[in-house]
Amino acid sequence: MTCRKLLLFLALASSSVLPASANLTPHKRSPNVNPPPTKRQAGAPGQPTKSGVPGTFEIVGNSGASAQQMFLGTPDRVYILDKAEGNPLQVNGYPAWGTEIDVSTNEVRGMFLYSNTFCAAGNVLANGSWVNFGGNQAVSYGGLTPTGFSQTGGPPYNDADGGKGVRILDPCDDQSCDWIDLPEMTTRRWYPTIENLEDGSLIVIGGDEWGGYVNDPSQNNPTYEFFPSQGAPIGLNILLNSMPCNLFPLTWLLPSGNLLIQSNWMAEVFDYKNAVEYPLPNIPNAVRVYPASGATAMLPLTPANNWTATVIFCGGTNLEPDQWPDQPGGASWNIAAYPADNSCVKISPDVSENWEYDDSIPEGRSMGQFIILPDGKLLLLNGANLGTAGYGNDSWAIGRSYADSPVMSPLIYDPNAPATQRFSRNGLQASTVPRMYHSSATLLPDGSVFVSGSNPNPDYDISVKYPTEYRTERFYPLYYSSRRPEPVGLPSTLSYGGPPFDVQLSAQDLASTSISNCTVAVMRTGFSTHAMNMGMRMVELATSYTGNTDGSGVLHVAQMPPNPAIFQPGPAMLFVVCGGVPSVGEWIMVGSGQIEQQPLSTAGVLPASSLPASAAANSTNGSTGTNGTGTGNTGSKSAAVQLTAGSVAWAALLGALVLLGASI
Ligand SMILES: *[C@@H]1O[C@H](CO)[C@@H](O)[C@H](O)[C@H]1NC(C)=O
Ligand SMILES: *[C@@H]1O[C@H](CO)[C@@H](O)[C@H](O)[C@H]1NC(C)=O
Ligand SMILES: *[C@@H]1O[C@H](CO)[C@@H](O)[C@H](O)[C@H]1NC(C)=O
Ligand SMILES: *[C@@H]1O[C@H](CO)[C@@H](O)[C@H](O)[C@H]1NC(C)=O
Ligand SMILES: *[C@@H]1O[C@H](CO)[C@@H](O)[C@H](O)[C@H]1NC(C)=O
Ligand SMILES: *[C@@H]1O[C@H](CO)[C@@H](O)[C@H](O)[C@H]1NC(C)=O
Ligand SMILES: *[C@@H]1O[C@H](CO)[C@@H](O)[C@H](O)[C@H]1NC(C)=O
Ligand SMILES: [Cu+2]
């Protein structure tokens, strides 16, 4: 972000600017009166409407505001949040720092925001509302806060202090929705992490008060809290002990109901319900957290892996805590020329506390970003080969960028490929747009990936090597132009357990594959910022099948495993994938649609899989085939009829570990 000197300046300026009586009452806009609900015909996705070339990027439009933060809010709308800065697009006579993009037409709507969303973060609630937390104080030109500068709005950018900001949006397709300010948090959070919980509420973790390239003890906020609020913030030891790279701590809810938190070199399992932290060994090779910014993702949770969570971390930067430039009293050295790390490591904390190396990526990369694709593979894109996230006024910076040598060539990671063959560039072409600091990406329902952002600059600046970038792109995966399955009978909701449902696939849907080779994926695209997609997750549902003599087939599909820690409640997309080709995603609601303890039912029993006699002989071996009560399509031998979702015996695993009570 900004360099150390700027931050100290800001901190000093702000403390002298803000009178104790400063009136920071949140600005409230009246909610729309009964906005029309987004209704779509459930159950029959068609073909993609774009004609993108598989394996390529296409520049498709303009984001209006720089896409520092981005998410898919409806099947047709992407929302962008930027920091308050001089974007040419105006709203109410001031630069816009929020936009809505119609992904069918690439039309852009500027959206009004009250406070500065600079390096804020967000996620989605069980009821479908998106909430954005934290940010920076109000700024003027150049991202600076002059002495006496208004913290409640006004020229030049009409931004208010966003440090404690909480903003909510109910996405819409009719331009009726806006961000609404909610009561503020009690502490400042710049660079917090937001993760979804089992009841569809959110946990808000960490951050600092006044920003900075890395954190420092004078402004650390080593606490977490919940939204909706459950009271005052609670201390979290790992955030005290993993300075200075503890901003945007990498966090995932595990099927055990605990959180994996990875911060600087440290990692732990956090039992948030009992406020107990269980240390894990340090992550090998490199720092993955911002600003080292490795690419991270939870790999698909599938019947074949018994819905066990494995989290992968690729690239980043291998610096010890005292080696970061621009720390108080520390050296300024040219980190923009420092090679990024190329290792990949993974961990499955519910079953093992050991880190494992995975295949390395072909070149070092910081700010790489994983996007899970519906075929169960992961796209790795964006980022740079040299340097890190962040920017500043340093003489060695590239313009202001703390990174150089963009990596524009994407990779596909296949978690199921044999070791040494998991990363591939076959058939993929590079982008032409450097996606440096403050870039973002999200999966779209047609299985393409929307990419935007890059702005390693304190304000709108197109004079530098890595300018404020507004061009949006779509990346078209290799399946993009294949004829997509058009499954009939998809539900619009999924429950945790309960009766399976049937999906019809035509002979045409199965022309180049077999019903025994179809899977069903539930995907949450997440909130993309700083090379992370908070909340991004894919769960493959258990299935069995009935093949018909006319070449058509029926997929019998289980509901979500009866454990909301495997997939938290809230909106998601449902894809039927046959022979590696996904349908267009269907927008669904997982769970009750309410923030509450989710109703759970016993998992329904899937009918045995069957194929007509002639086809059966040709069916893929390894599936349960004609003799199965099992999850026919996974190749797994485990007949997961009763989907006893949940996780391992934590007590046994952790018995030897020191239990740390969190207290501050
Ligand atoms: C950074 O440099 C620009 C001019 O290049 C100047 O306007 C700005 O004040 C500087 N910022 C800081 C914090 O020194
Ligand atoms: C979702 O819940 C939040 C928190 O209670 C609330 O502010 C918001 O209005 C709800 N959204 C909908 C669509 O009901
Ligand atoms: C199943 O799909 C995969 C792609 O996911 C393909 O490689 C394989 O050939 C298919 N098998 C059959 C029997 O269709
Ligand atoms: C099964 O495979 C055989 C030999 O490859 C082929 O002749 C036959 O048509 C196939 N049957 C079906 C139903 O696909
Ligand atoms: C599947 O296995 C059976 C028994 O091992 C064998 O007879 C059959 O040919 C195999 N089918 C295929 C398509 O490999
Ligand atoms: C089904 O599999 C079981 C266990 O492998 C075996 O005992 C049984 O004979 C099989 N039934 C058929 C119809 O192949
Ligand atoms: C799958 O996970 C469940 C819940 O942790 C466990 O009870 C079951 O034994 C596991 N099954 C296998 C085959 O590992
Ligand atoms: Cu940032």
Ligand minimally distant from the alpha carbon of residue 512: 3
Chain mean position to CA 43: 26
Q: Is the model's pLDDT at 10 over the cut of 50? A: no
Distance CA 61, CA 106 (A): 6
512 lines ligand 4 (CB under 6 A): no
Q: Is the model's pLDDT at 515 over the cut of 60? A: yes
Per-residue pLDDT, 328: 72
The average pLDDT across 353-359 equals: 98
Backbone angles phi, psi at 615, to 5 degrees: -70, -30
Distances (CA, A) of 301 to 122, 426, 518, 538: 23, 25, 16, 6
The average pLDDT across 417-432 equals: 98
Q: Is the model's pLDDT at 6 over the cut of 90? A: no
More confident residue, 628 or 538: 538
More confident residue, 36 or 317: 317
Q: Which helix (H) or strand (E) holds 615?
A: helix 613-618
Measured in Å, residue 251 CA sits from the centre of ligand 7 at 23
- The structure tokens 């505001």 sit at 65
The average pLDDT across 452-473 equals: 98
Degrees, nearest 5: CA angle 634-607-257: 55
- The structure tokens 């503890």 sit at 246
- The structure tokens 């792109």 sit at 473
Ligand 7 nearest-atom number relative to CA 648: 5
DSSP 179-214: -EE-PPPSS--BS-EEEE-TTS-EEEE--BSS--SS
Measured in Å, residue 65 CA sits from the centre of ligand 3 at 42
Q: Which helix (H) or strand (E) holds 250?
A: strand 250-253
Ligand minimally distant from the alpha carbon of residue 461: 1
Per-residue pLDDT, 326: 77
Q: What residue's CA is closest to ligand 4, atom 11? A: 615
Among 514, 516, 619, 621, the mutation site with the greatest number of ligand 5 atoms within 8 A of its Cβ is 621
Least-confidence region, from 548-552, 586-590, 599-603, 657-661: 657-661
Q: Are 241 and 282 in contact (CB under 8 A)?
A: no
Per-residue pLDDT, 616: 61
Q: Is the model's pLDDT at 632 over the cut of 60? A: no
Q: What confidence tier does 32 reach under pLDDT thresholds 50, 70, 90?
A: very low
Q: What confidence tier does 615 reach under pLDDT thresholds 50, 70, 90?
A: low
Distances (CA, A) of 407 to 193, 429, 436, 440, 454: 26, 12, 9, 14, 13
Measured in Å, residue 71 CA sits from the centre of ligand 6 at 48
Least-confidence region, from 155-169, 245-259, 511-525, 608-622: 608-622
Distance CA 94, CA 89 (A): 8
Single out the residue of 443, 378, 369 nearest to residue 406, CA to CA: 369
Among 424, 575, 620, the mutation site with the greatest number of ligand 3 atoms within 8 A of its Cβ is 620
Strands 543-547, 537-540: pairing kind: unpaired
The average pLDDT across 152-181 equals: 98
Ligand 3 nearest-atom number relative to CA 618: 13
3-class DSSP string for 491-512: CCEECEEECCEEEEECCCCCCC
Q: Which helix (H) or strand (E) holds 241?
A: helix 237-241
Which pLDDT tens digit goes with each residue over 65-97?
999 999 999 999 999 999 999 999 999 999 999
Chain mean position to CA 253: 13
Measured in Å, residue 643 CA sits from the centre of ligand 6 at 21
Distance CA 77, CA 73 (A): 6
Among 373, 377, 517, 618, the mutation site with the greatest number of ligand 3 atoms within 8 A of its Cβ is 517
Residue 171, token pair as written in the block: 């996405």
Report the chain's mean pLDDT, rounded to a whole number. Answer: 89
CB count in 10 Å sphere of residue 236: 27
Q: Which residues pair with 98 in a beta bridge?
A: 81, 111
Q: What confidence tier does 350 reach under pLDDT thresholds 50, 70, 90?
A: very high
Q: What confidence tier does 537 reach under pLDDT thresholds 50, 70, 90?
A: very high
614 lines ligand 5 (CB under 6 A): no
Per-residue pLDDT, 44: 74
Among 513, 515, 575, 621, the mutation site with the greatest number of ligand 3 atoms within 8 A of its Cβ is 513
Per-residue pLDDT, 617: 62
Distance CA 223, CA 231 (A): 12
648 lines ligand 7 (CB under 6 A): yes
393 lines ligand 1 (CB under 6 A): yes
Per-residue pLDDT, 649: 34
Q: Is the model's pLDDT at 3 over the cut of 90? A: no
Ligand minimally distant from the alpha carbon of residue 200: 2
Distances (CA, A) of 128 to 72, 196, 203, 587: 12, 12, 16, 11
- Residue spans per domain, the chain: 493-659
HSE-CB for 203 with a 13 A CA cutoff: 29
Q: What confidence tier does 342 reach under pLDDT thresholds 50, 70, 90?
A: very high
* From the candidate CATH numbers 2.60.40.10, 3.40.50.10490, 2.30.40.10, 3.40.50.300, the one assigned to the domain spanning 493-659: 2.60.40.10
Residue 412, token pair as written in the block: 């596909």
Q: What proportion of the chain, given as a percentage, has pLDDT over 70?
A: 86
Per-residue pLDDT, 501: 97
